[in-house]
Amino acid sequence: MSDQAIVRIRGLRKAFGDNEVLRGVDMDVVKGEVVVILGPSGSGKSTLLRCVNRLEEPTGGEVWFEDVQVNLPKTDINKVRERIGMVFQSFNLFPHLTAKGNVMLAQRKVLGRSKEEAARIAVEQLERVGLDDRIDYYPAQLSGGQQQRVAIARALAMDPHVMLFDEVTSALDPELVRGVLDVMKQLAGAGMTMMVVTHEMGFARDVADRVVFMDEGVIVEQGSPAEVFDHPQHERTQDFLGHIT
Amino acid sequence: MGTASPRALNSRWPAVAVVLLAMALFVVPAIAAAAPGDALVGVEITLNNTSGGSLTRFTFVAKSAAPIDSLDLAFPRGFDLSKITLDVVTLEGLTRVPVTAKHEVDGTALKMTFSPPIGSGATIRAQIRDVRLPATGGEHEVGVTYVSQGTAGSVASPEFTFETVKTSELLSRWLDEQPWVKSWNTVDALRLFAQPQKIAIAVPLLFVGWLTSITLVAIAFPFAIVGGLALAFARMSKIPPVRWFAGLYINVIRGTPLFLQIYIAFVGLPIAGVRAPLFITGVLVLALNSSAYLAEIFRAGIQSIHKGQFEAASSVGMTYWQAMQHVIVPQTVKRVLPTMTSEFILLFKDTALLSAVGVFELMLYSNSIATRSGNLTPFVVAAVYYLIITIPLINWVGRLEAKLAVAEGGQTPQNPNKRGGLFWRPASAGPIAEYEASAEVHESR
Ligand SMILES: Nc1ncnc2c1ncn2[C@@H]1O[C@H](COP(=O)(O)OP(=O)(O)OP(=O)(O)O)[C@@H](O)[C@H]1O
Ligand SMILES: [Mg+2]
């Protein structure tokens, strides 16, 4: 069971008009695995994540989540998305709702949980991300780091089977990055399956089970952090890592 | 009315009065003889002007059955006799014989003394000019007493009616006589556009029209909001024909004058066999028209919400409509409120166009009074009525916009001066951009 892939990607292609952004990506993510995806800007990392929950419609190949093929028209995509949490670079909290309201909304409307249960879980999740003292704050009253942690709590409250993180610390002031990374680390430690796009090499090294390096819409190289960081096989990987460090 | 006494009837129907008068001339001697002690018979009173509060001429007619030395008329309270002039004649056949009469006024009592006394068998006609009637009309009577050969007598009090005058009419008449009004009105522009008397008359009359205008827009606008929302979503629909239809509707409505639409509806509906009251048709046209403008306002508002909001809602499994209902629309409301209010103001002013097809709203009221009186003051009064609604709303829109600029300015530190101008102040809390800057909702007309 533990080595069974939760997310299976086969020959995934995505083109925006003439611009082919993903050109045949294969990837399996097994339960409990933390996969960090690296790559230069424009290499298709975000697009790959967004194809997993079909925020982008693939133009070729297959994306499977558990036993459902995500990119089939007949698939009830909302059912799939209930179990795939996603955290965005720009937080995307609902500004008209408090932290608690943000975490409760989909629990109530999508999962049909009672108000009491949704509220209880919201408080639980906000505590988990260290925001028990900000429960009734509106997003505008929170720092970027706090907002991002609310966004994580909002995703977690849905009991996701996999979490997608797309450069979730890139919009944060440096001193706020740490708190968010700590939450993610703790999540990984608790066995959450995660696909993480990030430029935080330290995080990748510490937390990733596997590092995937992408360039120009394909996976160039992948392996354990030690393999990829210390002994990159491909020139493009070496270039990229050389640039970063 | 039918149960009123014959005399009361006389005062209302001159034709009847003439008949009775003729009867009195020939028959009364017999009646007088039959009722000794009544020196005065066939008493009646008529008014030439039955509008309360105004000057009127009382005509008192009676037949003497004995010589009359003096005659006392006791008017009810509220009658003003201070400026009267008196003219008494006797009628013998068709010839009028002047009578020398002295009169005294004591409050509402008028005493006439005749020298020499009026002889027996004469028809007395006393005309009392410039009696000022009280404002409140209804049935009134005058007490009639006389002195005949040194003996006092009285007759049943003749009755008459007149109409209650409106306070505005009274005020207008009162203003007529004020020196400052007279000098005010010597200036042509003031007399033509701001004549105090016309203001007094127009204010209460136009009030009714004003209420009609408000009611028109108060009913039409909620429908326009519902229609506008539906059209906005139809315009953003994934289904092409739905999108095209909404686009066509919105563009046709926005691309043609409301005036034209009003004519089409008011001429077209009856031809199509739809018989609706003018007011209902008016509401319908206003709602249909405004819904097109609101649709564009709503669409712009919805599309101004950063697409990350929709994606975040989608990523937790919300459907399109759930995301709209719980995430997008609530955020849109705040942004479109100023533009929506502007649209409301426009629609309120546009009710005036319905005057052209006979809907009795503010404009038609003012127009009809102005044309009737040949004075433009009613238009100025109408303008004030429109402004009573629009100015506070215009101010409110300004404040809303300023607040929105502050709120969104605070959330978009990378472009704080987008809304610019005097209103922008940095918000105290300065969190990172949550969603994109301002609702670029355009002016609608
Ligand atoms: N909605 C879109 N329409 C058209 N082109 C797009 C769209 N989204 C992404 N692209 C293009 O696809 C390419 C890959 O974008 P993507 O966001 O996946 O890159 P990335 O690896 O996440 O880059 P970054 O590190 O800058 O976030 C880019 O060239 C981008 O311009
Ligand atoms: Mg990206």
Q: Which residues of chain A have pLDDT under 70?
A: 1-3, 243-245
Contact B315 A90 (CB under 8 A): no
Give yes or no for a contact between B281 and B327, defined as CB atoms under 8 angstroms apart: no
**In this structure, is the dihedral angle defined by the CA atoms of residues A148, A151, A157 and A159, taken in order, positive or negative?**
negative
Are B155 and B204 members of one domain? Answer: no
Q: Which residue of A has its CA nearest to B316?
A: A82
The CATH number linked to B101 is 2.60.40.740
CB of A41 closer than 6 A to ligand 1? yes
Secondary structure (3-state) at A239: helix
Establish if B12 belongs to a structural domain: no
Smallest CA-to-CA distance from A142 within A106, A194, A87, A179 is with: A179
Establish if B313 belongs to a structural domain: yes
Cis before residue B240, ω within 30 degrees of 0?
no
Smallest CA–CA distance, residue B219 to chain A, in Å, is 30
Output the pLDDT for position B440: 34
Q: Which residues of chain B have pLDDT under 70?
A: 1-37, 408-445
Q: How many CB atoms lie within 10 A of CB B6?
A: 10
> Which of B108, B138, B162 is the last residue in one of the domains?
B162
Are B301 and B405 members of one domain? Answer: yes
Are B101 and B230 members of one domain? Answer: no
Smallest CA–CA distance, residue A97 to chain B, in Å, is 9
State phi, psi for B269 to the nearest 5 degrees. -60, -50
Give yes or no for a contact between B148 and B93, defined as CB atoms under 8 angstroms apart: no
Establish if B18 belongs to a structural domain: no
User: A154: which chain B residues are within 8 Å (Cβ-Cβ)?
Assistant: 312, 316
Q: Domain containing B325: what range? A: 196-443
Establish if B206 belongs to a structural domain: yes
Are B311 and B421 members of one domain? Answer: yes
Beta bridge partners of A9: A27, A63
Are B148 and B207 members of one domain? Answer: no
Tokens of residue B31, six digits: 């009646």
Are B392 and B333 members of one domain? Answer: yes
Give yes or no for a contact between A30 and A6, defined as CB atoms under 8 angstroms apart: yes
Beta bridge partners of B163: B51
Are B222 and B295 members of one domain? Answer: yes
ipTM of the shown complex: 0.94
Give yes or no for a contact between B183 and B172, defined as CB atoms under 8 angstroms apart: no
Q: In what order do the strands lie in the sheet containing A34-38?
A: A84-87, A162-166, A194-197, A34-38, A210-215, A218-223
> Which of B162, B184, B214 is the last residue in one of the domains?
B162
Establish if B32 belongs to a structural domain: no
Establish if B179 belongs to a structural domain: no
The ligand placed nearest to the CA atom of residue A166 is: 2
Tokens of residue B151, six digits: 């003996």
CB of A22 closer than 6 A to ligand 1? no
Number of domains, chain B: 2
Are B147 and B201 members of one domain? Answer: no
Put simply, whether A210 touches B (Cβ < 8 Å) is: no
> Which of B144, B162, B180 is the last residue in one of the domains?
B162
Contact A105 B326 (CB under 8 A): yes
Establish if B82 belongs to a structural domain: yes
- List the alpha helices (DSSP H) in B305-375: 307-315, 320-323, 329-350, 362-373
CB of A21 closer than 6 A to ligand 1? yes
The CATH number linked to B240 is 1.10.3720.10
Smallest CA-to-CA distance from A126 within A143, A104, A111 is with: A104
Are B412 and B317 members of one domain? Answer: yes
Are B341 and B404 members of one domain? Answer: yes
Q: Any idea which residue has 């918000």 for tokens?
A: B427
Residue A139: which of B308, B334, B434 has the nearest Cβ?
A: B434
Output the pLDDT for position A130: 93
Give yes or no for a contact between A107 and A155, defined as CB atoms under 8 angstroms apart: no
State phi, psi for B433 to the nearest 5 degrees. -50, 120
Among A80, A92, A142, the strongest candidate for a mutation testing the B interface, having the largest count of B CBs within 10 A, is A92
Whole-number Å distance between alpha carbons of B423 and B391: 19
Tokens of residue A143, six digits: 């720092």
Record the pTM.
0.75
Strands B138-141 and B159-162: antiparallel
Amino acid at B81: L
State phi, psi for B187 to the nearest 5 degrees. -85, 120
Nearest CA to ligand 1 atom 5: A16
Are B148 and B276 members of one domain? Answer: no
Are B420 and B304 members of one domain? Answer: yes
Whole-number Å distance between alpha carbons of B99 and B87: 8
Smallest CA-to-CA distance from A87 within A218, A192, A205 is with: A192
User: A92: which chain B residues are within 8 Å (Cβ-Cβ)?
Assistant: 306, 308-309, 311-312, 434-435
Establish if B89 belongs to a structural domain: yes
